[in-house]
Structures are given as C-alpha cells and as structure tokens.
Amino acid sequence: MEVMTSTFERADGRATDQLRSVRITRGFTSNPAGSVLVEFGNTRVMCTASVELGVPRFKRDSGEGWLTAEYSMLPAATHERMPRESMRGKVKGRTHEISRLIGRSLRAAVDLSQLGENTINIDCDVLQADGGTRTAAITGAYVALADAVSVLKSRGVVPGSPLLPPVAAVSVGLIDGRVCLDLPYEEDSRAEVDMNVIMTEAGKFVEIQGTGEQGDFGREELGEMLDLAEKGCRELIAAQKAALGV
C-alpha cells in the first residue's frame, strides 16, 4: 500500500483525500432572493433560489411549502459544445436525474412546515463543467437557499424558521484502484466506481448514489469511499458556513 501511495499521482497534484479549491460567492446576481456562484476547481455553477407565492397542486391547502430544483448545462460549458436542450425540444434523462437529486437533497435542508404555502425554485446552471457539477450545485444551492429564506423572513412572509442545518455534497470514486475525493472530469470519466454523497452537518446521509461504471465494488471499498466523502462534506459545510458568516 505504501508503495502505491508514493507512485499514485492525481493529474492536478492533489492528495487522494483533498478537495479541489472551493469558492462560494454570494450575491452573484441580484434579481433572485438567493444567488450564489460556487466553484469546485474549474467547475462553476450559478445557483439561485427564487421565491414564489403558492404551492403546486399536490401541496395546496396543506399549510406547507415546497421546494423544487432544475439543473442545466449551458451549451458551451463542456469541452465540446453540446446542443441546447430547449432547441432539441427534449430534456435529457441525465438532466432530469440530476434535477431530481438536487431537489431531494435541498428539501432535506428545509422544514416545509415552517415555510408557509410558498415555493422555492432552485436553479443550478453550469457555466463551466469539470466534473462534480451536481455536487457543487447542491453545495452552492444550500447557500442560495439560506439567503432566500432570510429574504422571506425579512419580508415577514414566513412565520417559522424553515432553514435546517447545512447539507453538502461531494463525489468520491475509485481510480486505478485508489479511492479519491472530488473527481474532476478527467478522473470521473475513467473511474471504476463513481459515488455521490449528500450529507448533513450531523454527518448523516441524505442520499448516496454509487455506480460501478467500469466494474463493481465491495463493502470495504464502500466504507473507504464513505470515509472520504464524510471528510469532504465536513469541509464543504465549513465553507458554506464561512460564506454565510455563521
């Protein structure tokens, strides 16, 4: 194992358990209630939280609010330009899948019963993609959500305290048999196993999704990946709190 440690090198020189440099910029744009630019290395996602009066039909007269999310890549975000989904007239399965994941993850960070019958729309638009866009999106969206909740409270719309403690997300994966944290595109595309972990500040899982893209994985490898993910999420939560000044 030691030999392996010494010879294994990540393309960007990071240690296997090291996050890329993380930047969270609040107030990135001014129209939405919350607007954040989050950067995990070269991955850059604009995350906004917009507030709308009323709730979808299935929540009407429940006294509760709702939170929903949409994820999208700008066409020139990737190395090769990708066709714009609005022009194709169809949203890709991958986009739907990630939008749903972000929605579930952020609903774990909000107490809908404290929100009143309001809807929060999270939008995560990837300006530049270099792996980990969904985990960056979740991490940044929490901060946008926190800002939006403050706006709601300051407007007197929200009676209670809907914001729950932070939720953050990170990817881990198995590269050449080594467990690595926070994969950039180059690693992600050749990883044997790719896992996204969404965690609360209390260290509990909101969601885990692990996929053996080019192989399968056992309980032991799963354990190692979760250890790394936990470390990564704790650091990301610290960054979220620093950004929020709490």
List residues near its own copies by CB under 8 A: 29-32, 35, 42, 44, 46, 48, 50, 52, 70, 72, 74-79, 81, 84-87, 89-97, 99-100, 104, 108, 121, 123, 125, 127-129, 200, 202-213, 216-219, 222, 226
20 annotated as belonging to a binding site for a ligand: no
Shorter beta-carbon distance to its own copies: residue 6 or 127:
127
Q: What minimum distance in Å lies between the beta carbon of 16 and its own copies? A: 20
Q: What minimum distance in Å lies between the beta carbon of 123 and its own copies? A: 5
Q: What minimum distance in Å lies between the beta carbon of 91 and its own copies? A: 5
**CA nearest to 229, candidates 189, 173, 170, 186:** 170
What is the C-alpha R_g of the chain? 18
Shorter beta-carbon distance to its own copies: residue 127 or 238:
127
* DSSP-based three-state secondary structure for 213: coil
Distance CA(200)–CA(49), nearest Å, equals 19
Q: Please provide the distance, in angstroms rounded to a whole number, between the alpha carbons at the two ends of the chain.
A: 40
Shorter beta-carbon distance to its own copies: residue 62 or 86:
86
The count of C-alpha atoms lying within 13 angstroms of the C-alpha of 77, restricted to the half-sphere facing its C-beta, is 23
94 annotated as belonging to a binding site for a ligand: yes
Distance CA(237)–CA(202), nearest Å, equals 10
132 annotated as belonging to a binding site for a ligand: yes
Cα dihedral 21, 105, 129, 192, rounded to 10, equals: 90
213 CB neighbour count, 10 Å cutoff: 13
Shorter beta-carbon distance to its own copies: residue 100 or 234:
100
Which helix (H) or strand (E) segment holds residue 118: the answer is strand 118-128
25 annotated as belonging to a binding site for a ligand: no
Shorter beta-carbon distance to its own copies: residue 5 or 122:
122
Q: What minimum distance in Å lies between the beta carbon of 31 and its own copies? A: 5
Q: What is the DSSP-derived secondary structure letter of residue 20?
A: P
Q: What minimum distance in Å lies between the beta carbon of 2 and its own copies? A: 25
| Feature table: binding site | 94, 132-134
| Feature table: binding site for phosphate | 94, 132-134
